[in-house]
Structure 1
């Protein structure tokens, strides 16, 4: 406390002015201030004196309480220091641990605090785990506990955990003899309860019904398998309702025969979930009642019955087999034989039914001359009977005196005895002999083939190869002998011809593991000039055959023909290019010539004399003919180039024929030839190229006029055949000889007195073909010629409107 100094009245008077001055100007204010100061001084002195008295009283009380606390702590420490208890305190704020007291040394508790807190070092594992979990919950959740733990020496110690004042403490108390015995009994009870719970949990997991009965025979516990077998929802329901798994007869039998010294063990049949089931039941009796367990043997019983049926079925099957079979038991006596066995050895049924010994059976067969003769019969017999002591199956070949060959399998049985199986190889041996003969014939045949043949196995090794194969590939006999791998053959062929790709492919095909193998063929050209056709053919047993045929001569001839054909095609292309080029180059000057000729005919340029006019007419006629030829060549070149396009449009045939007649009339008049057109009324219309169709008719009429005699008649007959437009041009000319009739449609073919270049009928044939039609010619020498054309088209419905439009 801070002391405050008190002012006395004399001090105040000494410091104050005289009394007389109080009544001067401002004296009243000074007096007031002085009075306030005096009052504050008196009050402060009084308050300080009171506080001093209070502080002294509180100090005396604290010293008294501290003395009492010290006395209590001393008494508590004396009490805690008892050797029968020990306290561990955890401060909740600082986390420090304080250990007070000791436990008796016989408990096994360590003296050192650090060792004592490590509970796993001196408590049993179960107790150490329990106390550590309880302490964690005490410190974390404030949950108190009371436990009885057991040290590793088997001593019982009581542990109490509490929380107070923000601290957690656990008190360990060593129990006296009575309490220790009680604790030990509690520990033993807990151990027994845990053991019983473990066994019950184990019994709940097994798929075998287990039950426990009291002394009165009623159920007091069952496992999950039992409740499931009796179709109860829970185990308690099964116990409460007393659902029984075993039938009444079985339970009565158990009650009558069960004693503590003789447990019950028997097979019981019952019904579970509506189906018959078989159980192997065990039941034991104790002072508290009885306990039982049932093992489901339904599957075993079914297997046992199935085994009986299987053995019977096997016996029936073996009896119907064509392979002789005999089974001997562990005493080497005949237990089973089938009909094939009896028929093979021709033995009496009475002898076989007597179950003879195996050695006696062999002696009987030798006496009847059925077994092969042996130099030492005793040794051979002992060797045959060693099968009963052998581990592996014994196999032997018997060549019987009657010519039969048998393969004998003798196999020892696990339960004792042996099985003898006799396989008749007579037919197989005969087939192998025949097969070997066929193989020899095959080899001789392959060796004399002109084609190279090689057969490879699935391992890539040669089975067969003929001389032609080795000759084609330049191989020696050692390079292609049987057993040579295809890689070695590939190396030899590569060294000889430098061809590796083909053989590498052959090796991949031959040694591949593909399920489906297909044929392969092709051609190989070697560096030597040889051309070989090869074929890869799959064979049975995963074998592969390679065949090579020398096709050098054929390939050379084919190449020569191919080169000649290519040269001809090139020449034809050059010809077409030349004709097309020349035709275009000729058209311009011809057009100029025709133009100037027509200009010379004009009177405006002057009058020509008779000879000049004649020459001009000849020039005009020749120029027109030449222009026609050039146009025809251009048309054919366009067709050959594949760029000819027809302009299809509706054509009214009646008006079209009139137009053609007017255009050809002048030519007919010049040649003194009459044109007769025969066509029915209403021909209708067709879809066609008007210009090309007119060219066809004009070419045919002009060609007929060129060959027809003067004052003769050329006939044009037209009609409809379904949707087709058909017309025929005939004349009374000299006809066409048979030797040139097939060439009249060829280009530049001119016969008779025709002045053209021989392109008229060729153009007719091209244009008719472009229309999708056909042209035929019929001519008899001396009687004239008929040319018939057929142009397909659809009938147009409105012919009148088409004609009006034209």
Structure 2
């Protein structure tokens, strides 16, 4: 007979109830087992930690005592990893991905202890084990003692092998303890003795280190020691820390720092000597606009007193003094002159300031501003009076030479060996009807010969002048003549001059009468006759 729906429902509810009871029983069993493991560990004085998501949820008294002994600002999990990491390097990696079964990790610094790690019930279990003895509840765990001894051995090894010189002195300077680095170095300080067996040093490397009035707290000093076989000093940065009735000292090698400072000082002295020999005045202002560095050339060029410049004056004060001593270009009005200082400073910081100062006494200075790091800027003063005077004299000589050429009635043009027009006179411009303003522009001989051909009858003179101008080697002066389009006779003279240049001179005869002029004008019949 088929079961009714009511019977099926009752059966289903019963089955679900049984499954729930069974699952809850398994959870209770797991909790009981974990609690039993913790209780067993408490009885055996073992440090056992139970973590969930890196949070400590349970631990034995020995484990709690171990954590408290190494308490830091870190969490319990990170404190445990920091404490056990040097002895069990694999622990942190396994803790990130713990195995499901117990896994043993042997120590690398202490062979008498090991760690068991596993994941149980979603929690991380870490147990520290070791060779156990029968311990009373009031005795410390042997495992905890082994960890402390292992850590002590590691710290001892660190101090012995440290590159620092570490030693302890009593309040009277007597050496109480020193690491191996200190003992090895002290053998280099003192001359080797005849005795084979090493003797504990009776004196410190720095005998006056402890004898400093008022030295009660931590101090840092830079001291030097001479080795017995070397003349150079060995430098150390010594940190002294009060310890009991004496001090603990830590000496770090400072030879590199001292050598760098000495080289820097020597470099600055070299720069100072170089600046002192410069003819260009150099004045450097810091970001507060105060003069920090200047060389003797500034004194010579600005006529300012050394006492004034050495008092670190501001830029405004320096410029005021320069104006008072008439070492600045006189401005049109005081307001614009004062505003110019600010513009000068801004331009100097941008590295764009460069002006020529024409002083009232006839001297000429080139003043340049350059930016420096950290907002500083520098001014360079250069006396260019001789340069300006030479330039003016050259310009005057050129103008005089041009005036002399313009006074000559003959048309004159000078060409370089490359065929470039170097100079010509007013008569040349009038003869060939060229613009006098184009005297100093670059004009080629080929362009000039086209102008000549247009104004004259056909003649081979122009190609001859071109070949003569480009000719290399010794040349002889020559002359020839032709007719202008207005009937006048044109004499052409080519003369070699210095630098491979060629002087071409044109001389014209008196203007012909109208009859002859008309006969020599361009006419087809005359051209046929000439052929």
Is the shorter-chain TM-score for this pair beyond 0.5, marking a shared fold?
no
TM norm structure 1:
0.32
Larger radius of gyration: 1
Higher relative contact order (CA 8 A, sep 6+): 2
